[in-house]
């Protein structure tokens, strides 16, 4: 158990819909990262937040957005869903932004878009 929690574990929804994925980092961790893992693209970095502020952006679509709240939990919002958005979405956390040797990953949310 990494200490990172993600809800829900599974999500099935239809194209065009909007969903919210939630992540609670390990106690004391200030940085949260979101990654997407699909069969054809592998594990890809989406976005990072540090202490409530966006710190880095990866291959995140404009239809996707995220935020980190004052209690440090984070949400990833996916809208206008397409079949290709079906994937595993992982959240990870680390103690700080710089010199972050280890990222601790949650169990993931499996999103299926039908």
Closer to other proteins by Cβ: residue 22 or 79:
22
- How far, in Å, CA of 15 to CA of 79, rounded? 9
Question: What six digits make up the tokens of 28?
Answer: 């004391």
Which of 76, 78, 85, 106 is the binder for other proteins (CB under 8 A)?
A: 106
CB 30, CB 95: distance < 8 Å: yes
Q: Does 101 bind other proteins (CB under 8 A)?
A: yes
**Which residues does residue 47 pair with via DSSP β-bridges, in sequence order?**
34, 57
Q: Does 105 bind other proteins (CB under 8 A)?
A: yes
Which of 28, 43, 54, 83 is the binder for other proteins (CB under 8 A)?
A: 43
Q: Does 64 bind other proteins (CB under 8 A)?
A: no
């Amino acid at each position: 158990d990494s200490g990172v929690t993600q809800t829900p574990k599974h999500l099935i929804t239809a194209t065009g819909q909007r969903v919210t994925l939630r992540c609670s980092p390990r106690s004391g961790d200030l940085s949260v990262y979101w990654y997407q893992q699909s069969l054809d693209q592998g594990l890809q970095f989406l976005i990072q937040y540090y202490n409530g502020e966006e710190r880095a952006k990866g291959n995140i679509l404009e239809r996707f957005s995220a935020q980190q709240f004052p209690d440090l939990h984070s949400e990833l919002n996916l809208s206008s869903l397409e079949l290709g958005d079906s994937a595993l979405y992982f959240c990870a956390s680390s103690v700080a932004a710089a010199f972050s040797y280890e990222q601790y990953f949650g169990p993931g949310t499996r999103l299926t878009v039908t």
